[in-house]
Amino acid sequence: MQSLENHFLIAMPSMQDPFFKRAVAYICEHNEDGAMGLVINQPINITVGDLLDKIEIDNDKSAHAASVAVFAGGPVKTDRGFVLHSPKSGYSASQELSSDIMITTSKDVLASLTTAQAPEQFIITLGYSGWEQGQLEQELLENSWLIIKADPDIIFNTPIEQRWEKAVATLGIDISQLSSEVGHA
C-alpha cells in the first residue's frame, strides 16, 4: 500500500455525500490502520477571532488573521481544532507533514495567531475526516476521489471558492469529461 500522506483527495463530480461534494481533503496520515485528513475548502460561519473568543483566548481583532474563515475539516470530532500551517517550531503539539506544511493541535498555536509570533500562513479546521482500515482504498476503487500531491499554494494562497477547481486543473484534465463509471473501457 502506498501512503497518501501529503496528498490531496479531490472529490469527483459524482460524489453524493453532501459533506464531501466538491471537497479537497489534505491527507495528514495514511497507513494500514486507515487515514486522517482535513477538508481545506469548506468554510463555516465563524472567523478565527470568533473562535478564539469562544475558547477564551485573547486576540487582536484588528489583525488580519482574526477575520480569516475557519473550516469544517470533516464530520468527525467537530469540537476538536487542527491548525495546518507553514513551518514554525515551538508549539507543544506539532508535527511536520512536509517541508512546507505542519499540523498543530495545541492551544499555544491558537494564542499566537493574531500576534507577530503566528506562523506565516495557516488555516484552522474544526473536525477531521477519517477512514477506517481499507475504507479509503475502497472509495478510490469506486472512483470517488482523484489524488494529487498536495500543493501548499492551494491550501494557503488560493481563494476558498477556487481550491477545488485549481486542484483539478493541476491534473491537466477537463473535469466535465470525467465519468463516474469504474474500470470500463
- In this predicted structure, the answer to whether residue 184 has a pLDDT above a threshold of 50 is no
pLDDT by residue (tens digit) across 13-65?
A: 989 899 999 999 999 999 999 999 999 999 999 999 999 999 999 999 999 99
* Nearest Cα to Cα of residue 147 among 2, 1, 7, 6: 7
Give the three cell numbers for residue 172: 491537466
Instruction: Give me the DSSP letters along 1-34.
Output: ----TTEEEEE-TT---TTTTT-EEEEEEEETTE
pLDDT at site 181: 54
